[in-house]
Structure 1
Amino acid sequence: MTERPTLNVAVLIERQKQPSRWEDWRLRIADVLLDDGRFGSEPRTLRDDGINAQILHPGLTVTLYRDEGEGYHLNLTSGAPVWFVMWRIDEADPSRAWPELVTLSYNEAGRLLDAQERVDNTPLPADVREWLQAYTDENYRPEVKQRKRPASFKTPERR
């Protein structure tokens, strides 16, 4: 069995207190960073002035799977490849959020959205894009699209 390619990443979440009179908290995925181990293993606050905060969540792994090739291809050919981050907000404390999963597959992100999960994206750096492109080129071949003839051009027994 061959080993699957992986990347270790950390997700940076930004939190803003009362950005408008209708919101108590605004949370967003600010960035996904390659994690070489220097971030540790536990979430940590990088900055918090009482209004704005940045919390870094290390220890997530992005794994590439051969059967997700189409999803990687769609991400790469979208014009602006991205990291897809599935994350959750604590219902008991809406000022707290954490990432659950990071993927590079457009299809996997779509399945998560279909399941009513919260999925956001951030731009993919050039070096990760090249790594994903090399993997996709080696492991995925798009199906050749064939023109479908209108039924009116087929003989009655073939309709």
Structure 2
Amino acid sequence: MSSSSEPSTSAASPRPALQVAVVMRRERAQGPSSHWQPWRWILDSVVPDEPAFGSTPRLLHAHDGAQRWLHPGFQAELFKDDAEGYHLNATAPAPCWFVLWRMEEEPGLAAEPIPLPVVVSLSYHEAGRWLDAQETVEQVPAPPEVVDWMRAFADANYVIEPKRRKRPESFRTLTDRFGNAASVSTEKKRGRGAGDV
């Protein structure tokens, strides 16, 4: 990791954080959908932020319709109350960065809408909340040094709750559909038979 991507804390944010930039890529679409949508945007990478990147998005590369845009100035923070989300990511087969992005009109930057990253995270739980909110979320592999940093934080802050034995369903209190106590009887009901007068 370069010096600019070393974990840091600041007076404004005492939490561990990495300064990162996001690269989005426009590429030719494949398959049947390419007939009505010839291009698509995808997350290309998350890289250490550098002072030379500046503070505004910029076009890195354009060729035959394909484009790559750099979006600097993101901070990936680690929160103690989300340590389980980092633990799940760090112990996954392929730990990754999660990026929430939206298509936006940016008249000063591009002639057509471009994808603008909104948040970068390393938490499985946070990515899940974004997906539940119907946001566009993509992932790219996180480098080993970032995974080690995240794992160390998760190890220091995540306490695995012991599993509690679930009480068998047969011990649950019976209630009717209105929530009132109900009872079950195993006695055979006696009623009048066809021959009774």
Q: TM-score, normalised by structure 2?
A: 0.71
Q: State whether structure 2 residue 16 is matched by structure 1 residue 5.
A: yes
SS at match of 2:93: coil
Could you say which structure has the greater relative contact order, defined with CA pairs below 8 angstroms and 6 or more residues apart? 1
Q: Which amino acid aligns with 1:51?
A: G
Deviation at 1:140, TM superposition (A): 1.1
Q: How many pairs are equivalent?
A: 156
Q: State whether structure 2 residue 113 is matched by structure 1 residue 108.
A: no
Equivalent residue number for residue 131 of structure 1? 149
Q: State whether structure 2 residue 65 is matched by structure 1 residue 51.
A: yes
User: CA distance change for structure 1 residues 42 and 79 in 2, over 3 Å: closer, same or farther?
Assistant: same
Between 38-47 and 130-139, the greater mean CA deviation after superposition: 38-47
Q: Is the 8 A contact 1:6 1:61 kept in 2?
A: yes
Which structure carries more strand by proportion? 1
User: CA distance change for structure 1 residues 91 and 37 in 2, over 3 Å: closer, same or farther?
Assistant: closer
Equivalent residue number for residue 15 of structure 1? 26
Task: From the CA coordinates, give the structure whose radius of gyration is larger.
Answer: 2
* Corresponding residue to 2:163 among 122, 140, 145: 145
Deviation at 1:18, TM superposition (A): 6.2
Equivalent residue number for residue 192 of structure 2? none
Alpha-carbon distance in structure 1 between the residues aligned to 2:99 and 2:160: 25
Equivalent residue number for residue 79 of structure 1? 93
Equivalent residue number for residue 80 of structure 2? 66
Q: TM-score, normalised by structure 1?
A: 0.87
Equivalent residue number for residue 33 of structure 1? 47
Alpha-carbon distance in structure 1 between the residues aligned to 2:50 and 2:69: 18
Structural RMSD (CA): 2.4
Q: Which amino acid aligns with 1:11?
A: V
Between 118-127 and 10-19, the greater mean CA deviation after superposition: 10-19
